[in-house]
Amino acid sequence: MNFIRKIRGVHSDKDEAFHSLMKNILGYNPKKIAYYKEAFTHSSLKKEDRKGNAINYERLEFLGDAILGAVIANYLFKKMPSADEGTLTQMRSKIVSREHLNELGKDLSLRNLVRSNIPQQNFGENIFGNLFEALIGAIHLDKGYSFCEKFIYRNVIEPYVDIERLEGKITSYKSVLIEWCQKNKYKLKYQVYEDTGNDTHKHFSVKLILNGEIIAKGRATSKKKAEEIASKRAYYKNQHLINT
């Protein structure tokens, strides 16, 4: 071990490798690398600081979610001067949807950077979006709001946000079906008919019942996801009626 490595510490090679990866992803040199390490630390490691506070990406995820929402809201406010509050809220929801954030996290291969006691294959799809939000939080703490805003414009708004396309995008098929049923006085019901698996791999199965008839089913790791899957299938099955 040479003198320089003794000064930097025994983990210098790993630190330098992580620093290099972050520079490639961010396009700049991070000032405080500790923020970015926290952004990719899973709670399963049970890391704590000297005061006993947990060190993992969940708090940064909360911060990043707020910063991302604020930047997108400001962009839409300026870009859509004639839109009312409801329209602006819907558009923001489409841009920062879990599905979209997961895609952003996948594009950056963020899951490969996670330090965890859980195998990668056991993570759900939402890990990608969670990490992306945590990364936004780390950038904000490291470089400030203005710099973070530029990063979001460069990596989210400019390459992915198309106002005309998003105006026609459905973010909740369940909401569309409920509105359609209320308009036509149809009876809509979601019924859980299966709850299987152990605690880490539990699945829920849902029947979508319209006027007493089962028209679609969905299965996922949560009731909400299963209902949305069933709703999407029902929507496309009845699209010719819903859109008339």
d(CA 60, CA 66) in angstroms, rounded, equals 10
Kind plus residue range of the DSSP H or E element containing 107: helix 98-107
Q: Is 142 a catalytic residue?
A: no
- Cβ atoms of 173 and 235 closer than 8 Å: yes
Measured in degrees and rounded to the nearest 5, phi and psi for residue 26 equal: -85, -30
Q: Is 133 a catalytic residue?
A: yes
d(CA 201, CA 221) in angstroms, rounded, equals 7
Q: And the tokens for 220? A: 């996922």
42: helix, strand or coil: coil
Among 41, 54, 36, 16, CA closest to 142: 36
Spot the catalytic one: 61, 133, 149, 227.
133
Spot the catalytic one: 13, 48, 49, 65.
65
d(CA 207, CA 189) in angstroms, rounded, equals 8
Among 229, 175, 180, CA closest to 207: 229
Residues annotated as catalytic (active site), given as ranges? 65, 133
